[in-house]
A and B are shown apart, each in its own frame.
Chain A
């Protein structure tokens, strides 16, 4: 069974304090790993897709990396507006995305 585990469940940072969120997965035949941002009461918003180990993608203060067993979402010098839940999802074979439980990030000014 495909599994996605995100850690930590919650993370509290001071503004400017860089950190990383982890997404570990066990799937056979990974087709893609996805990161989403979700604000309270809203639908998830797409951030990145990663397809192969060693791949990296960046967007503003966010950088996503991928290994054969896990992905990291690095947040550099976060601002309060980066506060949200960050969801990781994987696709294996021809099946819909399987999501982790997310990491709730709070950035304090």
Chain B
């Protein structure tokens, strides 16, 4: 079955540590996105990528980094510069770049990151 796989489901980070969240899709989608969700908040865009080896900052990119070396993969690194990283992180993908298809974005099941 096609879909988006995010791992791990739960992640704990110590102060000052970098962590990487994995996002893999087998939908042959061109564009991929990372959103952050805090309790009672909507989804806020961190980074997005329309094609391999290219990505753009979203509204809250500070303290995060990404890479897009393969079409299927779009990992997100939460660096020590991100002062409040505890949140629910969602990866999504869409066909035909960022122009919306009839079915919008396909989302993964999320990674919950907690700073300990």
Q: Which residues of A contact B (CB under 8 A)?
A: 4, 6, 9, 31-32, 34, 36, 41-46, 49, 87, 89, 91, 94-102
Contacts and interface: CB of A to CB of B under 8 A. Distances in A.
Contacts of A102: 42
Interface residues of B, number: 28
A89 B103 CA distance: 13
B43 A46 contact: no
B99 A43 contact: no
Given A44-B90, A96-B48, A96-B98, A34 B42 contact: no
B42 A49 contact: no
B42 A101 contact: yes
Interface stretch (B11-19, B67-75, B77-85, B105-113): B105-113
B41 A101 contact: yes
Contacts of B92: 43
Given A87-B43, A91-B100, A45 B58 contact: no
A24 to B, nearest CB: 14
Contacts of B48: 96
A96 B100 CA distance: 9
Interface in B15-48: 33, 35, 40-45, 48
Contacts of A45: 107
Contacts of B90: 43-44
Given A41-B110, A101-B41, 4 more contacts: A96-B48, A97-B105, A101-B40, A102-B42
A74 B52 CA distance: 40
Given A43-B108, A99-B42, A32 B100 contact: yes
A42 B110 CA distance: 6
Nearest to A9: B40
Contacts of B108: 43
A6 B43 CA distance: 13
Nearest to B41: A101
A100 B40 CA distance: 10
**10 tightest CB-CB pairs across the interface, nearest first?**
A43-B107, A99-B42, A99-B43, A101-B42, A34-B104, A32-B100, A46-B104, A44-B107, A43-B109, A96-B48
